[in-house]
Every structure is written in C-alpha cells, then in structure tokens.
Structure 1
Amino acid sequence: MTQLFDQTLYYFLTLVTSHQFSLLRYFSAVIVIEMPFYAIIMLGIIRHYFVQYHTAPKREPYYPKVSCVVVCYNEGDEIKATLISLMEQIYRGRIEILVAIDPAGNDDTRRAAEDIKASYHHPYKEIKIQILEKLTRGGHASSMNLGLAMATGDIIISIDGDCSVDNDMVERIAEQFTDANVIGVSGTLRVRNLKDSIWTRFQSLEYMFGIQLGRIGMGQLNIMNNISGAFGAFRRKFLSKIGGWNNGTAEDLDLTFRIHSYFRRFKQLKMVSAPKAVLHTDAPNTLMELLKQRLRWDGDLFYIYCRRHWRSFSPRFLGWKGFIGILWYGLLFQIALPMLLLCYLTYAFYVYNLAMLLALLAIGYCYYLVVLCLFYIVHITLVSERRRVDLGLMPYLFLMPIYQLFMRLFTGYSVIYEIIMQSHKDTSMAPWHVIKKTK
C-alpha cells in the first residue's frame, strides 16, 4: 500500500510540475470544452450581478394577468401544498390557477384540489382555481397544452403538481417580462427534501451549479439551454403561435430548442433567468431512483438534439450564436464529453498501471474541486437567497467531484443506451399510444 501511494504521488507531482503540454495530452477535452465554458458562465454571472444591483432600477408598473398551469398525474394530497403556495402569492396583478389532472380518474388528486378550491382563500384578493380533468391520459405535454388552451393570462407559468413555490414567485417572474422582447423565463429549482439523504444533498449542489448559476450565465448570452417543464414561464400568445409543447419525452428541451430557431429571424427575442423566482421540488433520495431519473434525462439529450432536431442543427436555423451555444453546451459538453470520459477511463484502466490511473483521477479531483469552490463562493456572495441553507452544504463540496465523475460516466452510459435501445420510447412522461406517434 505504501509503495502504491508513493508511485501515485510521484506520477501526480510529475504530471502537475511537468510542461503544460503533458496535461494537455491527458485532459485535452476538458481543457478545450470545459474551461472556456466555465469562464464564460462566470463572466455572465458577474455581469448579471452588476446589471441587477449596480445600475439604476428600470422597474415599470407592469402587472399582467398570470396563468399558473399545475400539471398533475398521481400527486394525491401533495397537490395541496402546491396550490396553497400559489394562493399565497403577493402579487398586485390577477392570478388564475389551472389544475390539469391526467387522467380524470385520478380521484385522490381531484378531491385534494377541490378541497383547496372550496376552503382556502387569499386574504386580500380573489385567485381563481379551475380544475381541468382529461378523459384519457395524454402525458405531461398534453396537460400543459390543455392549460395553454384554457389560459387567459398574458404570462403562463408551468408547474409540476408535486412542488411548492416562494410567495413572491409570480412577482419575480412577471418583472422579467417588463422587457417586451423577453418571451421565456427560467426560474430556480431548489431541492425541498435535501435533508433526506446524501444523494439529495449532492443534487441540491448540482441544481445550484447547473440550473441556477448555469442558466444565469447562459441567459446573459441569450443561449439558454433549457426552460424546465417543472418550472418555466412564457408569453402566452407567443407560445400559442408556435404550437405549444410537442408530445413525447423532454418536451421542455424540445420547446427551448424550437424557440431558439426563431432567434435568427427575430434577433431581439430573449430567454432569460429569474434567479430569485424559486420552486421547491423533491429529488430522488436513493441512488437507484436517481439513476433511473438520469437514465431518462441524459438519454433525452441525445434524442432531442441528434434524433428529433438534427436537421435544424445549423446556423441557418439557429443563427451563429445559438448554433455555437447549443453545439458547445448541448452536444459537446453534455453528450460528447461524458462519452469521451467513459471511453478514456476504460482505455486508461487497461493501458496504465493503478498508480498512474489514481494520479490522473487525483488531478481531475483537484481541478473540479477548485472549479466548484469558485462557483460556490460566487453563488454565496452574489446569487444565493438562502445563504444559511447553502452554507450548510459546504462539507459536501469535497465529495462533489467524485459524485460528478460518477454521474458523468453514467451520462455516457445513458447516451449509449439511448443510441442502442432508443430508451425515449420507454418514458413515463406519456402513454405508449402517444409516444409511438412522436418522431
């Protein structure tokens, strides 16, 4: 064991202190793809902070009617917390809540929604709850399209039925639409059950870096990667004109990509982030549940970019900025890099001795720990609206590089699984009779 440690330390110090091209040889994909992307995101976050807090406020008295579409499947009594959090919004404008229940035979969810509708009222204003029951199950996209068809607000916010929101969520979302060119807004997702297990704590940090910080940075460049189906907002008229959500899996990523295709012709359009608009969701609290979720999420990336929309993947449709942004983040960072990492580590396992392999992993650990600490400091100082909660996650930063490596390798596996098995056809987001008709 002592000899292994000495050899590993020797290889580690040799790689770190040798000429820079030695590291480029082993970590070329990371250096070329990741480091510039992280730098751009960091600059975008800093720019957002100075624009938000060090320029004269331009808030106009804009309080449009907002339609909140709550998508339900089998939430049961969990829907009560969602509806109560929406009923308690502090917002000067009008709010309507559309509860889309898929399918109508879901009696527990319907009764829970009716109980809140009958018994709970806002102390100062009337907020209407309308329950929409679907005769047959059509899936997540079908429920959101039903809500879109029935909505009368200028802004439509999609929310999953097992979540809850801060009481200023609608206010924070609506203020982003003061700019007439903003057509979509991505909110912040936080893990509600972060104390359940170590896996929920890892996901809380993951959401912090990937969703909150990542989308702030990309929103500043107008290359938003995704507006989540669990929590996203759009101008209703624009969404209606482009046909709403497509059926099938990953309907949120599909919609975001389609919106990007309009940016070449209408260069003034924007999708932005609202970091202070917060939704709380329950994350998988066991490893198996987490892997099952990510098998679908990561496989859907390949399905949307490389199967459904590959013909539109060009500057002709997306414009150069959108094309480079999605190519860099969507294809290279999210799909190609995990597969390269999986292939490289498999190759290294057979070619290098154990000490060399451990030295390479140690260098990777140190690199990601430094990156995570930098983003964590920026998040705590410039972005976080719950510093005490986020500071409590600090000890888990030292394990995050290991978690990230494991999840990156699993992403590579998920992409390969989607390529071979077409796993998007096994999604639970819609019934089979709907999935088989999607492209």
Structure 2
Amino acid sequence: MFQNLQDKLDKALHNISGRGKITEINVAETVKEIRRALVDADVSYKVAKDLTKKIQEKALGQNVLTSVTPGQLMVKIVHDELADLMGGDNVGVNLSGNPSIVLIAGLQGSGKTTFSGKLANYLKTKKQKKVLLVACDVYRPAAIDQLKVLGDQIGVEVYTEFENKNPVEISSHAIEYAKQNKFNVVIIDTAGRLAIDENMMNEIRNIHQKVIPNETLFVVDSMTGQDAVNTAKAFNDVLNYDGVVLTKLDGDTRGGAALTIRTVVEKPIKFISTGEKMEALDVFYPSRMADRILGMGDVVSLVERAQEQFDEEEARKLQKKIAKNQFGFDDFLNQIKQIKRMGNMKDLLGMIPGAGKALKDINIDDDAFKHIEALIYSMTPEERRNPAIITTSRKNRIAKGSGRTIQDINQLLKQFEQMSKMMKMMQTPQGRMMMQAMAKQMSGGKPF
C-alpha cells in the first residue's frame, strides 16, 4: 500500500534532512521532488501543485527550533498537509434511522458486494447491530448467490426475491421486512455496470428516491487511479452520496486515488478495504494514513486491531497457565489464530514505525504460520500439552504427518522453549518493571 509513493517521498525529504537550516533553495528542491512523487503516484497535477505550494509556503514561513531539525520540520509539514488533503478528520457512518438504511453504489468489479458483506460484519461485530443484507443486483450472474455465501459466512440474513427483477421493489419490500423483524441496519447491494450509462444512473437514482437512505456510500476500485476519481465525480452529480469507500488498496502501490478523491468530490473517505477476508475493513483516518505514507507506521490502528481480538477471560486463563508452567502448543495455536484475525502479516508489520521500509523488498506470505500450524496439528493432544515428551521417534512421526523436516521441528521446539521462558519471566516483579520501563521509553518518557 502506497509503497512507491512512500519510497519517493522518503528520497525527497532526505534531501533536506542533513541541512543545517531551511532556505528557499533547499525547500524548492524538496518541494519539486515531492510534486514529482505525487504525480508519479497518480495524483492529479493540479492537486499535487496546490499541495506542494502550501508545503513550500509553510516551510519558508517557519523558524526551526533548536530541538527540531529542518528534516523533522519538513516531515511534519508534509504530514499535516497530506492529512488535510485526505479530509483532516475521520467521518463516521450515519446510523440514525430505525432501521438505518445504507445504499451501496459503484461500477461493476469495484468490490461492492464484498464490501457490503464486510460492512455488515463490521456493524454486527463492532457496533452490535442486527443487520439485513439486501440483494438488488439482479443482472450479474451469481451476484445474489455471492451475497448469500457472504451472509452465511458472517451469520447475517440476506433478503432476496429471485423472481422479481425490479430492484426498486425489492429494496422497498426489504425495508418493510426489516421493520417487521426489528433489524437495526439495512444494507442494499445494488447493481453495477462496466461503464457509466443512463439506465444505470436512472435505476440507482430511483432506488435512492424510494428508500431515502440515511447513508449512501460509493465504492471505487483504487487500482483504477484517476479513472476512479472521475467515476466518483459522475456518480456524485447524480446521487450526492455521503462518503467514499476505497477497495483493493493493498493492490495499489501508488495510491493517487486516495489522495485525490476527497479534493475532487468533496466527500469524505469513510472506509478502506484490503483483501477478501470479511475482517479486512478499516475505518479511514486521514492522519493515520499520512503516518503510513511517510513510513511512520500506524501504531494506533495496530493496537486497536489487537484489542478487538483480546479476550480478558482467555488472558486470565493464559496467565495462570504461564505461572504454573503449563503453557502448551494448543495455547500457542490460539495466539496464532488471534494474530491471523487481525489481518495479513505484511499489513500488520507495516503499521510498526520503520518496519515498512525494512520489509519493502521482502515477500511475506499472507499465511506465514501455515508451516507452524501443520507441525502442531501433527502432534498428539498429549504432545501439545507437554512438548517435553517429544522424542526422536515422535519427531519422525510429526515430520511425516506435516510434510516438514526434523530441523523444522527442532527449530519450533527451541523457539517455543525460549518464548515460554520469556513469558514466565514477564510474570515476575522484575519482568513487569522491565516492561513498564520499555513502555515508558517508547512513549517518550510520558507516564501512562
């Protein structure tokens, strides 16, 4: 995500990082490189020009404090301007209706149906809403079946009328059904087309006028670059929608659409979608995205994802097991499952400050734990509870069952032993003091 832009902005800001002071000449050089990086990332030239003009004016109008280098000051200015370009503040979804009606629009192939499923899952699990999905794409083959599969996957009911080919009627009937069955939110997945046409616009306009949604979201494929921006503008002229959803952002290393779309249509980006998993949906925060673009990571989002998977009762049980030296491979598997639910590994590691740059040329498998899981699943229940009983003969059996080697098993056992010792040490007063000192240092010496 934004890898090319991140690399080029890093080079541009490197030009000024070693300078003793800010001057018109070195600012002009840096701004020129920033503008070039933005245009290369598929940001429109006008937006790139306006943004870099603001950066230049701010940079020349500030004095560098003794505790701040020119490079640090320039990074802050660029960060603030990028965040402002993408909207400044986070804007939530309007769920004020009873039921709340969310209308999903966009071109065919933009990821509307998958996003509808992700949004339903998000509202169900994080907002505790009773959600009804409505299948109004009556043209694309298997579109209704796709939505039903997603609904079954996340445990959300899908309203369908297979014989009815009138999306306006279907959406109206669905809302009546939702009121009768006390659903909190109705998400209407509408049909897309391969290109903008009059019939499509009339249909989505008629649905909009009939159901009067609390929230209309326009879904765009970020990989289409400036075409996504142009399409968003055309739809906004017809629907006057409330917000934008960017899908497939993990497949776009340039990211120009995310930077430009807010300025062109003057509507907030509300969600970003990465990958096919139903949990792979993030609320869009301009400031956090600016952090990631500039290689600063996104620790806040990382912590939030971890907290979502955190179970206090399970944590207490685990703590007792560690204290009694009963931590086994079954517990290790549960930890792996929690990490996997947080998202793909490269995305998670990219949220750690500095890690994105270090990992840019490293291919991290989205299922990086599969070999470890294969080894553990090849163990007997007793071996998982007590790894100390795993002898050479047992290792041979585990290797054959998992398709791995003896060396892989030895490495796993060694790493598991080291981790167990470290976790047990953290339960001691000295270990807790060490963790508190590390946390204080990471927070810049500020108390929690």
Q: Do they superpose with TM above 0.5?
A: no
- Relative to the length of structure 2, the TM-score reads 0.26
- Relative to the length of structure 1, the TM-score reads 0.27
Q: Of the two, which has the highest radius of gyration?
A: 2
RCO higher in structure (CA 8 A, sep ≥6): 1
